[in-house]
Amino acid sequence: MVSRVIPVDPFDLVIFGGTGDLARRKILPGLFRRYCAGQMPDDARVIGAARSEIARDGYREMVAEAIREFGGGPACEDGTLDAFLERLEYVAIDARGEAGWTELQALMAASDRVEAYYFSVAPSLFGDLAERLQSYGMADDAARIVVEKPFGRDLASARELNRTLAKYFHETQIYRIDHYLGKETVQNLMAVRFGNMLFEPLWNSQYVDHIQITVAETVGVGGRGEYYDKSGAMRDMVQNHLMQLLCLIAMEPPARFDPDAVRDEKLKVIRALEPVEPHHIVRGQYEAEPGDEENHPDYRTAVGNPRSRTESFIALKTHVANWRWAGTPFYLRTGKRMVARSSEISVIFKDTPHSIFGEEAGRHRNVLSIRLQPNEGITLGVTIKEPGPGGMRLIDVPLDMTFADALGPEGGESVDAYERLVMDVIRGNQTLFMRGDEVEAAWGWTDPIIEGWTKRGEAPKPYASHSEGPDASEQMMARDHRKWRKVEP
Ligand code: NAP
């Protein structure tokens, strides 16, 4: 199987925050892999920009190190890396002052190509960057800006940020990243739904019992404790990643696979989400790892806030109030320090209406599972006869489509989400980026939920490290006569 790589147009990409963690771990190694794949034109330029005073060669060395550490592969050693590094420039710049801006302006003046500006800096600097790009003449119609999460911390701040960016850029120039949307399987979810006749007729409350979306991490808050404690699982994961996945599962088929057609349908889903009842929410905080409390302390110790009421785990039930989904619950769950790292969406179909095999054969359900990580792939659980004599016994077996197995080493090659999304920015394709109204609608649903538990003064429940979260999360499902699917690596 031959993978098709279509080179993008020549471009200049400025990475504000070009010395930061995200640039070093994801953006620059991703660009290098696209360069190796032949997608990046030879004359494309990548310009790192941050306050640190580094010479161009020093920056190239820093990037080479980062690429070697974070997945440049064998190409690092065969001269390709050196050729890529030739594409790199660096400007010492202050988003909040005037230092460095005339140098950047001079570098970009000669550009008659695609100009992209990646805001890989703290969100508090987004407005400063946008304003200076304009005052130094770089916010022209050819410019595109890429903004990282978090996009606000509530509806009011997201609106404010949208308003600020809109002063300098049109919506068609703003690329709000949610890297979950860049994952291969997420796009495959759309291919499976809208490229096959098989599923869509069953994709509604008549046939679907319920939907589960789980994003489980094994890591704790790590070095992000201070930031995380002001945010929590609802703001950090549900408002963006889990809601985006929910939208793709629940949306109506768009008329075309184009950015606004897709985003219009996602927006309708968010607007149809019902408010969440307090007894349909479970929040938790992880406990220390027994015997290794020093390296793996409990949540409150890890964030340095002994009275913290921020959740490192949340499970909730919601409904999409429309004709397609009335009566089908959507259960969302995400947490840190859980038993395995696993992101999975499961569509659990209803029981057959009548069992011709008698009660002893048991009732079986089809489950369509879409695994985002690890081992991206899609599995359909079907019921068959257990082989051998002894009557009609039924078992469930998976029809497995792990992409790496099904498509071979080339087709199964996974392109990192950031790689794909940065190339989409250069191509000018906004389909996998969030529109301003979508982000605001998502906060509009999230805000009252957070306000509710804050007003009620509820504290999160403790849960053991390496578990599936607090017992109350299982109890929430049990009240509905359902069970969470096991979190498995
Ligand atoms: P980081 O490691 O703290 O890097 C911040 C970058 O901004 C550095 O390059 C820093 O360099 C630069 N910077 C700081 N103040 C500046 C100023 N006044 N003018 C110009 N540059 C300035 O942060 P990060 O983890 O890379 O995160 C960057 C953004 O991505 C944040 O919005 C974050 O929420 C988001 N994000 C990060 C991740 C991740 O995995 N890291 C994941 C999702 C989203 P100097 O100090 O040299 O100026």
Domain extents in the chain: 11-148, 181-479
The residue among 237 and 385 whose pLDDT is bigger is 237
Report which ligand 1 atom has the smallest distance to the Cα of 24.
Answer: 26
Cα gap 488→482, rounded to integer Å: 18
Task: Calculate what percentage of the chain has a pLDDT beyond 90.
Answer: 79
Task: Look at residue 298 in the predicted model and tell me its pLDDT.
Answer: 97
Side by side, the strands of the sheet bearing 143-147 are: 88-92, 45-50, 11-16, 114-119, 143-147, 174-176
DSSP conformation class of 307? T
Cα gap 38→27, rounded to integer Å: 17
Task: Look at residue 6 in the predicted model and tell me its pLDDT.
Answer: 82
- Token couple for 44: 């494309």
Task: Look at residue 390 in the predicted model and tell me its pLDDT.
Answer: 78
Residue 187 Cα to ligand 1 middle (Å): 28
Average pLDDT over all residues of the chain = 93
Where does 70-150 have alpha helices with state H?
80-85, 101-109, 126-135
**pLDDT over 90 at 5, yes or no:** no
| Across 131-156, average pLDDT | 95
- Please report which helix (H) or strand (E) contains residue 191, including its range: helix 184-195
Task: Look at residue 78 in the predicted model and tell me its pLDDT.
Answer: 75
**pLDDT over 70 at 93, yes or no:** yes
Report the pocket of ligand 1 as residue ranges, CB < 6 Å.
16-23, 50-52, 93-96, 120-123, 125, 148-150
Looking at mean pLDDT, say which of 373-382, 399-408, 427-436 comes out highest.
Answer: 427-436
Confidence of residue 364 (pLDDT cuts 50, 70, 90): confident
Task: Look at residue 380 in the predicted model and tell me its pLDDT.
Answer: 93
Task: Look at residue 361 in the predicted model and tell me its pLDDT.
Answer: 78
Among the CATH numbers 2.40.160.20, 3.40.50.1100, 3.30.360.10, 3.40.50.980, which is that of 181-479? 3.30.360.10
Confidence of residue 1 (pLDDT cuts 50, 70, 90): very low
Name the residue with the closest Cα to ligand 1, atom 30. Answer: 120
**pLDDT over 60 at 76, yes or no:** yes
Report which ligand 1 atom has the smallest distance to the Cα of 23.
Answer: 26
The residue among 400 and 458 whose pLDDT is bigger is 458
**pLDDT over 90 at 487, yes or no:** yes
Task: Look at residue 238 in the predicted model and tell me its pLDDT.
Answer: 98
Residues whose CB is less than 8 angstroms from the CB of residue 28 and which lie 6 or more positions away in sequence, other chains included: 15, 18, 46, 63, 66, 67
**pLDDT over 60 at 409, yes or no:** no
**Is residue 3 helix, strand or coil?**
coil
Q: Of 442, 419, 444, 441, whose CA–CA distance to 432 is shortest?
A: 419
**pLDDT over 50 at 175, yes or no:** yes
Pairing of strands 342-349, 281-286: unpaired
- Please report which helix (H) or strand (E) contains residue 437, including its range: helix 436-456
pTM summary value: 0.94
Choose which residue among 15, 21, 98 to substitute to test ligand 1 binding: the one with the highest number of ligand atoms within 8 A of its C-beta. Answer: 21
Encode pLDDT of 196-222 as tens digits.
Answer: 999 999 999 999 999 999 999 999 998
CA 440 to chain centre: 17
Task: Look at residue 109 in the predicted model and tell me its pLDDT.
Answer: 87
| Across 267-296, average pLDDT | 96
Task: Calculate what percentage of the chain has a pLDDT beyond 70.
Answer: 95
Q: Is CATH 3.10.129.10 the classification given to domain 11-148? A: no
Encode pLDDT of 411-424 as tens digits.
Answer: 445 678 999 999 99
Encode pLDDT of 421-460 as tens digits.
Answer: 999 999 999 999 999 999 999 999 999 999 999 999 999 9
**Quick check: 253 and 194 in contact, CB under 8 A?**
yes
Residue 120 Cα to ligand 1 middle (Å): 5
The residue among 298 and 404 whose pLDDT is bigger is 298
Task: Look at residue 389 in the predicted model and tell me its pLDDT.
Answer: 85
Report which ligand 1 atom has the smallest distance to the Cα of 93.
Answer: 20
| Across 91-108, average pLDDT | 96
Residue 51 Cα to ligand 1 middle (Å): 11
Residue 16 Cα to ligand 1 middle (Å): 8
Pairing of strands 367-373, 377-385: antiparallel
Which residues are part of the catalytic machinery?
241
> Minimum mean pLDDT among 281-290, 353-362, 379-388, 403-412: which range?
403-412
Q: Of 371, 341, 344, 316, whose CA–CA distance to 466 is shortest?
A: 341
| Across 119-139, average pLDDT | 96
Residue 92 Cα to ligand 1 middle (Å): 14
Report which ligand 1 atom has the smallest distance to the Cα of 50.
Answer: 21
- Token couple for 351: 């029981």
Task: Look at residue 400 in the predicted model and tell me its pLDDT.
Answer: 79
> Minimum mean pLDDT among 150-154, 167-171, 187-191, 327-331: which range?
187-191
Choose which residue among 15, 120, 125, 224 to substitute to test ligand 1 binding: the one with the highest number of ligand atoms within 8 A of its C-beta. Answer: 120
Name the residue with the closest Cα to ligand 1, atom 6. Answer: 17
**pLDDT over 60 at 28, yes or no:** yes
